[in-house]
Structure formats: C-alpha cells, structure tokens
Amino acid sequence: MHKPLKLKLASNDDLTIASALLQDAVVRVGDMAWQPASHRFAMVVNRYIWEEKRRFGLFKSQKKNQKKGRRVRTGLHFNTILKAEVTGFDPRNTDAFLSLLSLTVADETKKTDDTVILNLTFSGGAAIKLVAEYMDGLVSDLGESWEATRVPEH
C-alpha cells in the first residue's frame, strides 16, 4: 500500500512537483469540470504512482512478469479560476479519455502581476488554459491503489 498523496499548490515549485506526480494520469472528460460561480476547476484522474516505481527501482529493464506499478484515483482542483479555455478536444464528449502530460505556469504570467495562467497539457494536442487570481490548488489521492495494466511509455 502506498502513502496517500496530499499536496497543496501555492507556488510554481509546488506545480512542478505536482506535474511530475501527475504525468501520464488518465482522465475521462466527464470527470473534469469548471464551476464558474465558485471559481473552481476540478478533475479526478487515474494517477500512475511514479514515486512507488522510483522507490523500488522498477524502471530497470522491465521484464515480462515484473510489476507494472500501480494507479490510484486522485483529485486535482484549483480555486480562484476566472476563466477556462479548452483546445484540442470536445468537452461535450464526456466519455473521451485524455492523458495528462504536464501542469505549467504560462510565460504570459511573468508579464503581469494581475493573474496566474495555468496550462494543463494532454497528449494528442489537447489542452486546458486556466486563468486564476492566484495559485491555490490541491492534489489528493482519494482511495486505494490497484495494479496498473502497463507502465506508461514516452
């Protein structure tokens, strides 16, 4: 059993760590939502537990019957969201799946003190751009992990 992840996102460094931990997370489009009235963007993903793979040294030439690692349901949300834009996928296709590649702060953020621009980049050219008053988020594992069907590859 892995130690459940809980990480507050309040700085660029926090976001960099979260990005590494959430890389290759799989999300169903129907499991993400922007709630304009409460200024919140949230999604629930199936996170690959990278930290477990690193701890047990399972990256070394994966053999046929070797462990494939584990996944866990993980929630991610950002508060103070003023605007959300999607590109590269149809948010109405709630049964589609996306694979998260990275979470980053956009270069435009450095040009203004007014807002923080967060980019969620997915495989296949899909992306979500969030405009926030300031960075305020949380990543939290939601339950027990299960054996992954495969190790993500790049």
Residue 91 lies in a domain: yes
Q: Count up the domains in the chain and report the number.
A: 1
Residue 129 lies in a domain: yes
Pairing of strands 81-87, 40-48: unpaired
Handedness of CA 106, 91, 31, 70 (dihedral sign): negative
CB-CB neighbours of 91 under 10 Å: 14
Residue 154 lies in a domain: no
C-alpha to C-alpha distance for 50 and 132, rounded to whole angstroms: 28
Angle at Cα 76 formed by Cα 72 and Cα 80, nearest 5°? Answer: 175
Residue 62 lies in a domain: no
Using pLDDT thresholds of 50, 70 and 90, give the confidence band for residue 53. Answer: low
Residue 61 lies in a domain: no
Residue 123 lies in a domain: yes
pLDDT digits (tens, 9 = 90+) for 60-85: 544 445 578 899 999 999 999 999 99
Q: What is the mean pLDDT of residues 103-122?
A: 83
Tokens describing residue 154: 């790049």
Q: What is the mean pLDDT of residues 104-123?
A: 83
Does the pLDDT of residue 57 top 70, yes or no? no
Taking alpha carbons only, the member of 51, 47, 53 closest to residue 27 is: 47
Residue 150 lies in a domain: no
Map tokens 């993400």 to a residue. 32
Gyration radius from the chain CA atoms: 16
Range of the domain at 134: 6-54+71-145
Does the pLDDT of residue 8 top 50, yes or no? yes
Q: Which helix (H) or strand (E) element contains residue 55? A: helix 50-55
Does the pLDDT of residue 29 top 60, yes or no? yes
In this prediction, residue 135 carries a pLDDT of 95
Q: Is the pTM of this model over 0.85?
A: yes
Residue 59 lies in a domain: no
Q: What percent of the chain has pLDDT over 90?
A: 74
